[in-house]
Structure 1
């Protein structure tokens, strides 16, 4: 079964080998592309460790923020890669219209999603390019900060990091900048579009649920009892098929979403503390806006799935099922009980993807802010 959805998203993800280019494609290509980002993560961690060891004045909170953000992005991609085959199966199931037909609104939704994907990619890479260009624009303020605090941090680089050579010398500084820019584009760009792909699958599942609700009237209005029972049996199969895809999503996305929620909470805690302390930077605000927007969009997508899956029961109840025979009414009552169970996408062992997750993350961030405040005092 060929994939007929998510064309633009999967085309990009195939370039970085997150989406397999062929059925036998190995994920090694994705790890090789990401390997410079793992080395960059190590260099970011060593900046504070070596600085404190040498009793230098380093901004530990800034390093922790950068390290947490990079680690969260890379862990998210790793856990997505761990369940890549299941993700491929989800996309394949959503592309299969032989069993229950093609939803009438599919083409319109696909065109809309493709437009949003293109817009998202443009905005994402403009933001990444702005993030890369900012150190060059603010190089004077970096020099002033070094002079004020007696530091020797290399100016004109994206992030402070430790390397076994002088980053202020030519051509090491230019090579380091290119390396950092590559890691930023690959890691943040790939993570952003991967998250978009997960949300797209939820949108296409919403289309299936909406299609399912429209079919209940065809079942109820069928006058022939035998044909009506056959249509009802097929409707139930469709309902089970949708829940089966949702269960695969929950299993496939569980750990990646758990990592995402965990690191967002920790990162927001550090960012909130620096805001309260008045030491936040443009880099800090950029991280906050990017991560919070991702959290909000993901939670809205999960909440829509919950609400739409619960509306199936309302659609059944609002139909004229009571005008049919007693056997049909009994079957409908059983289906109604089953339809009241919402579709939940797990975001870890203790929560699911919904608007409530935003509150949970903010509570976690508040706890870290209190902990940092108490520690600093």
Structure 2
């Protein structure tokens, strides 16, 4: 490939990136009922108290979603314009007897068969934002639980206080069940993207120094932002589930009677293991995982610079 002057890193990034994004879309479709039931339970406040900051958080997330949608279209259009300007160079270097690169497409790519219209749809950004939005709404329930625990344990002891604490215990179990459902859905819907993100970022970074620098820059920024939303959500849910124990510690729990303290111990035991978003085949998505992906992507980038 080095001698032919043809750079195939764009093809590699599209093959793995578009395939991974397509699989995510397919899995979202297959698990549509699971996601739909989860969203209904997430915003259902008939059984327990409605989180106080739920409406404000939902409004803010709606605005962020509109901005994310606009940026996704802007990046797509920018990349398409860059591909159109480079189509002439693609045809000049194209040799049907060797590579047979398809030029008049959204993204010039090598295929073993001829075609006139090939488009790769990248949906990773939108789906990562859905995960981020679900996590933020879920955190509203955790914040409400912490407020109820503080009000209950700081109040003078009474039979009513014990009943409120038991309601908090039930609410905590309900929140944990929601968290484990969300973790399972994300794992089997988008967990495999952790295998592809580093390779895609390395390919796009190499492409940025060879062809379509501006289009590749926006594409790389969008992919890194999507990956950050994924890892940021995992870090947030892990930290917030652990923070419930800290909220109890900062109350006047020591003034409660023995029976009430047993309920407090039950909550503390359930808080020892945080809820995490798993990345396939191993690991959890958090800030450390995000920087590991960037480091691995740079390793792929250095490899491509030496070999292609």
Instruction: State the TM bucket, normalised to the shorter chain.
Output: 0.7 to 0.9
Shift of 1:194: 2.6
Structure 1 Cα separation of the partners of residues 129 and 301 of structure 2: 30
Partner of 2:264: 332
Please say if 1:135 is aligned against 2:83: yes
| Equivalent residue runs for 1:1-377 within 5 Å | 58-136=6-84, 138-139=85-86, 142-144=87-89, 146-147=91-92, 149=93, 151=95, 157-161=105-109, 162=111, 176=117, 180=118, 183-184=119-120, 187-188=121-122, 190-223=123-156, 225-273=158-206, 278-282=209-213, 283-369=215-301, 372=304, 376=307
Structure 2 Cα separation of the partners of residues 127 and 269 of structure 1: 18
Residue by residue over 1:321-341, the C-alpha shift from the partner in whole angstroms, topping out at 9 and shown as x without a partner, is 112223323432332232232
Moved more, 201-210 or 328-337: 328-337
Q: Report the CA distance shift for 1:150/1:222 in structure 2 as closer, same or farther (over 3 A).
A: closer
Structure 2 Cα separation of the partners of residues 305 and 298 of structure 1: 11
> What's the TM-score once normalised by structure 1's chain length?
0.71
Shift of 1:344: 1.0
Conservation of the 8 A alpha-carbon contact between 1:75 and 1:259: no
> Any unmatched runs of 5+ in structure 2?
none
Conservation of the 8 A alpha-carbon contact between 1:317 and 1:336: no
Q: Report the CA distance shift for 1:288/1:58 in structure 2 as closer, same or farther (over 3 A).
A: same
Structure 2 Cα separation of the partners of residues 215 and 150 of structure 1: 67
Runs of 4+ in 1 over 6 A off after TM superposition: none
Structure 2 Cα separation of the partners of residues 158 and 294 of structure 1: 21
Residue by residue over 1:98-156, the C-alpha shift from the partner in whole angstroms, topping out at 9 and shown as x without a partner, is 111211111111111111111211121122222223333x25xx435654x46576655
User: What is the RMSD of the two structures over their aligned residues, measured on CA atoms?
Assistant: 2.9
Conservation of the 8 A alpha-carbon contact between 2:129 and 2:226: no
Aligned residues: 301
Structure 2 Cα separation of the partners of residues 118 and 369 of structure 1: 32
Shift of 1:370: 6.1
> Any unmatched runs of 5+ in structure 1?
1-47, 49-55
Considering Cα pairs closer than 8 Å and 6+ residues apart, tell me whether 1 or 2 has the greater RCO: 2
